[in-house]
Structure 1
Amino acid sequence: MATFVLIPGALHGGWWYRPLTEGLRAAGHEVYPVTLSGVAERGPLNGGGVNLDTHSGEVLGLLEAERITDAVLVAHSYGGMVASAVADRAPERITALVYADAFVPRDGESAYGIVDDVWKERYLRGTAAGGDGYTMVGLHPGLDPRATAHPLATLLQPVRLTGAGEGVARRTYIHAERFEDTPFLPTYERLRKDPAWAVHTLPVGHDLVREAPEEFLGIVLAAAG
């Protein structure tokens, strides 16, 4: 039995992972889908001070509180920023990392710094639409209707990495090749040439849970060994 910790992307709660959660539990595994502070049902906790450290600290706290020492971290989109910080700080608690069309930052990078000008402009428009100066809302009509505002500081704060996370032996990346204007293509191009990574390409858009549930589940299960 493996223990999966599922970290969602921006604007989404742990509920986004429901089909994957159900599939993993049906296979006999323990699963913790996470909703981070300032997002979804935890939106009232967003007072402007929620940043990347807040989110990574919450996942680290979960690993500690639940005494998890064999975690498979699965991260979608923005969640890759969080997973990278967690893996760097607690590599001894993690057996595998799965980045599902997600950021895989290097030391000193932020989500905003990684994306291209198209996405920078979208972040800024989303912040203007949020209206409070410290949250961003999603403007794409294809978003899950449950998507909510997201703490802006989590996208702006650079991650600090020592390289300890590279000690996690099993690292998997999933590239969604039909994600329009994807900001993750440079990440995919970098990792597919790296023998330390198992890289998969799926002919779908960014919403892997909706568009490729069975393929997503199969990759995640294989990553756990």
Structure 2
Amino acid sequence: MATYLLMHGGGMGGWTWKFMREILEAKGHKVFTPTFTGFGERVHLIGRDVGNETHVTDIVNVLHYEDLTDVILVAHSYAGTVAPGVLAQAGDRIRRVIYLDAIIPHAGERIASLLGFASEEEMAGLDAMLDAGEGPIGSGVHEQQRAMAKEHPHMMDRDREQWLLDHLSDQPMRATCCLIPVGAESIKHPVDYIAAKNTIMTAMHDRARALGWPVHDHPGDHAFNVGDPEGVCDIIAKIVG
């Protein structure tokens, strides 16, 4: 049996793995689903200084204090920016990595400009503002996701979608605009990428292929870990073998 550490996406938390965790644990696997500082049940810790480095430390500490080794590290969406830093600091505890429709950053990039939501100049200015103790604490990603769902409902049961939307929380602005110090190009571990068909992450799929990572297609959308946990777990099981 395997040990999984599942890292959630933007606006979410450890709760987002509820359905996948149940499936994996029923098969006898150990599953850890930590929540990044400033998200979910830890949203009360959101602050202008909470960014990528904080979230890397969150996961490195879980690996250390839970005495985890031979871990399969799974990163959804935003967590793709955290995984490289975790591997740089605690790679000896990780067996392999699986990206779930996740962001693939290069060192020195910023999420908002990488995804085309804002210019590099705007994000650099906002980052400096946060350093000075000014500017918005949160990014409003939870409200953005709710607005997007009205125009393009998720590919899942409406009750489950409502559960997803109800649980969303804000994301620290620092995480959105800060420089990502460790990029995916530094990863030496085996990485597989599960790509959703209906997503804004298409450019990330191309980056995965450019890095030589095997890409596994899924017919769902970006929230497929909630909408089709069975299907995603099946793909993961084939990857892990």
Could you state the TM-score of these two structures normalised by the residue count of structure 1? 0.85
CA distance in 1, matches of 2:60, 2:14: 16
Is 2:141 the partner of 1:140? no
Shift of the 224–20 alpha-carbon distance from structure 1 to 2, 3 Å rule, reads: same
| 1:118-169 Cα distance to aligned partner (Å, 9 max, x none) | x339xx9xx9xxxx7110222233262110111010121222228795221x
> Identity of aligned pairs, percent?
30
List runs of 5+ in structure 1 lacking aligned partners: none
The 5-angstrom pairing of residues 16-165 of structure 1 reads 16-116=16-116, 119-120=117-118, 133-137=136-140, 138=142, 139-141=144-146, 142=149, 144-161=165-182
Is 2:217 the partner of 1:201? yes
CA distance in 1, matches of 2:70, 2:47: 33
Tell me the CA shift for residue 16 of structure 1.
0.4
Shift of the 145–30 alpha-carbon distance from structure 1 to 2, 3 Å rule, reads: same
User: Structure 1: which amino acid aligns with 2:79?
Assistant: G
Question: Structure 1 or 2: larger helix share?
Answer: 2
Which is worse superposed, 136-145 or 58-67?
A: 136-145
Shift of the 164–120 alpha-carbon distance from structure 1 to 2, 3 Å rule, reads: closer
Aligned to 1:74, the other structure's residue is in SS state strand
User: Structure 2: which amino acid aligns with 1:140?
Assistant: Q
Tell me the CA shift for residue 98 of structure 1.
0.9
User: Structure 1: which amino acid aligns with 2:195?
Assistant: H
Shift of the 188–163 alpha-carbon distance from structure 1 to 2, 3 Å rule, reads: closer
CA distance in 1, matches of 2:99, 2:184: 17
Aligned CA RMSD, in angstroms, stands at 2.3
User: Structure 1: which amino acid aligns with 2:182?
Assistant: L
Which is worse superposed, 30-39 or 134-143?
A: 134-143
CA distance in 2, matches of 1:120, 1:73: 29
CA distance in 2, matches of 1:205, 1:64: 33
CA distance in 1, matches of 2:102, 2:36: 16
Shift of the 74–162 alpha-carbon distance from structure 1 to 2, 3 Å rule, reads: closer
Shift of the 44–95 alpha-carbon distance from structure 1 to 2, 3 Å rule, reads: same
CA distance in 2, matches of 1:193, 1:104: 11
CA distance in 2, matches of 1:57, 1:194: 25
List runs of 5+ in structure 2 lacking aligned partners: 127-134, 150-163
CA distance in 2, matches of 1:37, 1:16: 15
Aligned to 2:167, the other structure's residue is in SS state coil
> How many positions carry a matched residue from both structures?
211
CA distance in 2, matches of 1:186, 1:93: 30
User: Structure 2: which amino acid aligns with 1:176?
Assistant: A
